Structure formats: C-alpha cells, structure tokens
Structure 1
Amino acid sequence: MSITLPRRLGRLCLALFALSALAASLPALAQQSQLFVTMNVHSTSFLNPGSGEQRFAPTFNWIDDPRAAQMQSESLTATYAGGTGVGEFEGRIGLLRAYASGSYPYCCDPQGHRINYGYAGATVQARFYDTIAVTGPGLAVGTPVSYTVNFSITGTLSNPNFESGGFLSADGLAEVRLRDMTSYAEVNKSWDAKKDAPGVYQLTLNTFVGRNISIAGMLYAGADVSDYARSARYAEADFAHSAGYELIPSVAGLNTTGASGHNFLAAPVPEPGTWALMAGGLLVLVARRQSRACSPRPSSKSGSSSAAPTVNGVTARR
C-alpha cells in the first residue's frame, strides 16, 4: 500500500524537527570561545500569612567575546522570612571560582507549632570553552606533539553536607576536557568534592601540528537548607579559591593561546638543579639570621648607638 502524501509530509516534518533540535543542541560552527555562567540565589517561604520569596537567577553568556578572557564577577544575596541564600562567581576563561551558601530557621517552636515553612540556598555554575591552533615556529605540519593540562582545584564543603530527604545539601563539582578537533580523541576528568581530594590533576592529549584542540572547564557550587533540616541550619560550598586550567606543551614555542586571547601556558616548573640552588640559598639566609641572633647586641652605654637610622641615613639621637 503506497504511503499517502499527508503521511509523507508528516514524516518530513518530523525529520526536519529532529534536525533542528540536533542543530540547536550543538555549538555554532563559528563559535571558538565561550564563558557561560548561571546563578540561582533564593530564599522562599510557604507559610501563610507571609508566603513569598526573594530570588535572583541571572545568566551570563559571552560567545567569541573579548570579555570572556577578562575577569568577571557577580555577588548576590537573597533574604526572606529569616532565610538567606548567597551566591558568588568570579572568573574568566581558564579560571573559575564559585561560592554558595544557604541558611534557614527551624520549622517549629518548642511546643511543636510550625512557625517557618520554606528553604534557602544558591547554585552557581560556570563553564568555559576555547580553541587552540596547534602551531609553532619551525614545526612542520604533521609533527606529533602533545599538551598536558594542569587542572587544579581547591575548596571545601560544610559538614554535614547531606541529610536524608534532601533537607540539607552542599555540593561541589568540576570538570576539564581536552579534545583533538580532528580525531575527536579526548582526555577528561570529572571531580566531585565528596569523592575526590583537592589538588592538581594532570591529563595529556596527543595531537599533531596543523590541527586544532579545544579545552573546556566547568565548576559548580550548590548549597540548600530547608526548614525541616535537623542536622544543621547552614550549608556551604566554598570554591572561591578557584579551579585553574593551564597547559604545558611538549615542545617549547608550541602555541598555548586560545581564540579568546587567553594564554593557558603554565608557569615553568624549576629543574632539580634549580631546586637545589634555591634550597642552598635558603640555608645560607637561615644561617646568617641565626648568627645575627646569637651575636651580642651593642650596650646602650657603649660608644655605638642602637638607634635606628632615619630616612636620610643619619642615626637619630635619643
């Protein structure tokens, strides 16, 4: 039985809808860099009379915009019916910082009467994306090279950070991805404050001169407290000390500057010989300080004065 024209048109419409949905889910081909931030800071009460809320939910999205490589910051506080939510963000491409906290009074008085009914808290999520052309002076197209990303993360969660029933929670999540845009080979790390230790994580991606690579990072901080929480009245996810993303190229001079204009080059690590020289210098300084501390100070009755020199270098008289 042949398919009627209306059925064909229906299938065509479904196919076009699927293609448009797929296109909407993918970044634009021209997009080379992005800094995207979402925040939700709130304090809400459901107790009548007096139900209501204060809520802030800004979104920032810089696509192929020079501001994405410049430090941006936002700090918000919501207060209502005794509850408080605080959310803070600071960062740019290659550096993300986030903070979230929430507090809310207990539901009931000593007699068990409900005097509060609500919750407060905040979520802060930031992510960036940048592309880097794999080029370098004197390096021929097709030369095998690699990039190592130093992903450093520090932060803390309040304790307790979870209560059964979801009445209290604090979470910290982070991510790094390094991808070859030609082969789609990728290295990545997902970090969870409840499972992973803070510190520096290293991932290495092999690629070739003449290709492009992408680097992406994400940081999330969330905290929430309801009136019914029993273990604590406050929750905090403090990642205001940053998630940092740096690159170490396998060959000196290999490009580490993204399309955003940000240079991901990590600070060079001193060689073992350099460490030895630095340690020797510190030992000399310590020995000098100790010898000075052990030598007798001039007596106030001696001919030499213990008064400090003035600005012009002349010893002041006492």
Structure 2
Amino acid sequence: MKAARTLLSALGASVLLALSLPAAAVQSQLNANLQVNTTVFYPVSGAVVHAPDLNLLDDPRSAQLQSLDGSAALGGGNAHAHFEGRMGLLRAAVDASFPYCCDALGHRVVQGYSDATVQGRFYDSIAVTGAGLAPGTPVSYTVNFSITGALSNPSFESGGFLSAYGLAEVRLRDMKSFAEVSKRWDASRDTPGLFSLRLDTFVGRTVSISGMLAVGASVSDAARLGRTAWADFGHSAGYQLLPSVAGLNTTGASGYDFAAAPVPEPASWALLGMGLLGLGVARRRCRRAAD
C-alpha cells in the first residue's frame, strides 16, 4: 500500500520527468515496469511480490507488440497487472483486492494490503526528410493522441485505503531547437478522447515522439468503500503522427511508421482478453467473499 501511494504521488508530481528523453545515443526505446504485491501482517506475516520489466533500446522488436503479466496472492489478497505495448501503442490493466480487517463483532481477523501498478513508455526519433523538400524548408507534424479507459468507482478513499489511477502523456520535440508540444492526461479529471498537437520544424532536423501510460490500484484491510480497485486501460493509448506535406518521413529509428492509425492488432485482443479474464475472476471472488 505504501509503495502504491509513493508511486502515485511521484507520478502526480513529476510525470513530465518520467518522460525525460533518453541519452543522445539512444534513438528508440520501449520499456515497461510492473509491480504487483500482496502483503499480510496478521494473522501471519509475509509478502508476495512480482516485478517483471521490459527494456528495449534501439531494438527493432519495439515496433512489434510486447506483453508482460504479473500476479500476487496471499492471505485472501490478490493483485494482477497486464501490459501490452509497442511504438505508438500502450495498453495496461490492473486489479487489486483484499479482505476486510474485522468480523461482525469488530475483532481483527486479517491485516495487510494488495497493490498493482504498470508504467509503460516509448520513445522514438524521426528524421525530417522526404517529399523532395530542401533542407531548411518549414514543415510541421501533428500528433494525434487517443486515450480510452476507466477506473473503479470510487477511485479513492480518504486515507488512501482504496485507490485507482490512470495517467497518460504524449510529447513531440524538435531535437535541434528543443521546441516541443505535450499533453498530460489524468483519468481523475479528464475525459477519454482524441487530442491533437502540432509542432513546427524544418526539413533536415530530427523530431522525437514519446508516450507514457501509468495505471495503479491498491486496497488495504482498512478500506470501507470497497474490497476491490481496478484501472482498465486495455483499450489503449494510441499515438499517430501526420506530416504537413505528403511524403514527409514518419518512420522512426525503430522502424515503426507513426502515420499508421493506432488500431489494435487482432492477435493482441486475444492476449489482452486472457489478462482481463484473470482480473474479472479476481473481482468476482472478492465480491463473493465480501457477501
């Protein structure tokens, strides 16, 4: 629980820093970090932690869909996390549940918490060339950023005993002038949708595009408003790049063409469905236990 609150605070305060550009030698990167944890303090003491990660640097596999899963279970608590992503597409879903502390007489029977977090990011660099244009010709790129997802309700309980969050971002930068446009999205205040940003640049330069999706859920034995929290962003944060002049390059160093519409690959839906099926089973078990 403490780890989840710390991560949420850090993301809320400095999500722009989370998208800081890689070292100059790195032209493309795809990474993801999952953290699932169930800790019990009473009547026994123990913890189950699973923290798989992915980090592809200048690797052509970053243009292909990658996936990670994590789960933890102990003392009636459960946590699950699922990630899928590639250049231009990030998806994640998490689920956490934990029994109530006390019986009908107010006697403590269990103490602990479960939490799950996912943070996925990509970065790519694109040479501004093509369309028969001479170096120095002014052009522009428009990045279309689409985000859909939902949080459990309520998504937060006073004291942090139950919480769920979803954050996303896009950034487009001219690597010579460092002029940039960016959009930060927070599920707690923003509605899903499509957002467009335009960056002016010149032929002969390089632009970078980066995206981030972070989700989390946490429940402790002290939560009173619910026994399960979840954040489902399995329907994606998608990123598309369109040039002002037809024929201008939109393919990054990774080999991925960002002009492609960010639509899910058919095979990916099957993978995502398997992950969300596990989350659904956990929710139903938790509801039955609460009843």
Sort the TM-score into its range (normalised by shorter chain). Answer: 0.7 to 0.9
Which structure exhibits the higher relative contact order, with contacts defined as CA atoms closer than 8 Å and separated by 6 or more residues?
2
Q: Give structure 1 regions of 4+ aligned residues with deviation exceeding 2 angstroms.
A: 25-29
Partner SS state of residue 60, structure 1: strand
Question: Could you say which residue in structure 2 is the equivalent of 1:107?
Answer: 101
Question: Could you say which residue in structure 2 is the equivalent of 1:95?
Answer: 89
The reply on whether 1:175 has 2:169 as its aligned counterpart is yes
Q: Which has the larger radius of gyration?
A: 1
TM normalised by structure 2 equals 0.82
Structure 1, unaligned stretches of length 5 or more?
Answer: 1-24, 268-318
Which of 191, 195, 198 matches 1:201?
A: 195
Question: Shift of the alpha carbon at 1:215?
Answer: 0.2
Deviations 1:171-203 (A, max 9, x none): 000000000000000000000001111010000
Question: Could you say which residue in structure 2 is the equivalent of 1:44?
Answer: 39
What is the RMSD computed on CA atoms of the aligned residues?
Answer: 1.3
Question: Shift of the alpha carbon at 1:67?
Answer: 1.4
CA distance in 2, matches of 1:213, 1:252: 17
Question: Shift of the alpha carbon at 1:29?
Answer: 2.2
Question: Shift of the alpha carbon at 1:26?
Answer: 7.0
Structure 2, unaligned stretches of length 5 or more?
Answer: 1-19, 262-291
Which of 202, 212, 218 matches 1:224?
A: 218
Question: Could you say which residue in structure 2 is the equivalent of 1:33?
Answer: 28
CA distance in 2, matches of 1:77, 1:215: 31
Report the more deviating stretch, 215-224 or 52-61.
Answer: 52-61
Write the letter of the residue equivalent to 1:253: G
Question: Could you say which residue in structure 2 is the equivalent of 1:18?
Answer: none
Alignment of 1:134-149 (within 5 A): 134-149=128-143
Question: Shift of the alpha carbon at 1:27?
Answer: 3.0
Question: Shift of the alpha carbon at 1:51?
Answer: 1.1
CA distance in 1, matches of 2:93, 2:222: 23
Question: Shift of the alpha carbon at 1:207?
Answer: 0.3
Write the letter of the residue equivalent to 1:224: S
Report the more deviating stretch, 80-89 or 26-35.
Answer: 26-35
Partner SS state of residue 62, structure 2: helix
Write the letter of the residue equivalent to 1:189: K
Write the letter of the residue equivalent to 1:145: V
Which of 247, 255, 268 matches 1:261?
A: 255
Identity of aligned residues (%): 65
Question: Could you say which residue in structure 2 is the equivalent of 1:287?
Answer: none
Write the letter of the residue equivalent to 2:152: S
Write the letter of the residue equivalent to 1:60: L
Question: Could you say which residue in structure 2 is the equivalent of 1:61?
Answer: 55
Which of 101, 117, 120 matches 1:123?
A: 117
Partner SS state of residue 184, structure 1: coil
Write the letter of the residue equivalent to 1:42: N
Question: Could you say which residue in structure 1 is the equivalent of 2:148?
Answer: 154
